[in-house]
Amino acid sequence: MHDAVREQATTIIARIPEGRVTTYGTIAKMTEGATARSIGALLRLLPKGHTLPWHRVVAAGGRLAHHEGALEQRELLSAEGVIFDARGRIPERFFWP
DNA sequence: TCGTTGACGCTAA
DNA sequence: TTTAGCGCCAACG
């Protein structure tokens, strides 16, 4: 992934409003030359002290991707008012854009 | 350079 | 609704 693509992706993630979420696929579509998988790779390698709202990036269908920080992610989202339904999915009204 | 791994997505069955 | 299969891309040894 080129630096320009990475910068564009991080910019998009930084623009996600509080209390809203977006998906890997959505970011990939908005970023030229990126795919859902490349976005995942990008977030995985984020520096320790970054200010990016990574917790607002979820898997397709509003499901929560299974990774180490999933629990923390769920807490952060809940703190912002994001609701999980009975099946552990985020309703579409929380999606951004 | 090659094979493996993993914060994924989409489609078919 | 759940699984499997395939495509996809970056990092790493």
Domain with residue A36: its CATH number is 1.10.10.10
Per the structure, the residue whose CA is closest to nucleotide B10 at C1' is A60
Q: What is the mean pLDDT of the segment spanning A47-62?
A: 92
pLDDT at A45: 87
State the residue range of the domain holding A8.
3-94
CA distance A68 to A87: 20
What dihedral angle (degrees, nearest 10) is formed by the CA atoms of A87, A93, A69, A35? Answer: 110
Q: Say if residue A48's pLDDT is above 90.
A: no
Q: What's the CA A14/C1' C9 distance, rounded, in angstroms? A: 22
A57-94 tens-digit pLDDT:
999 999 999 888 899 999 999 999 999 999 889 999 99
The total domain count for chain A is 1
CB A56 within 8 A of CB A16: yes
Tokens of A35: 């795919």
Token pair listed for A49: 């002290």
> Using CA atoms, how far apart are residues A41 and A81, in angstroms rounded to an integer?
27
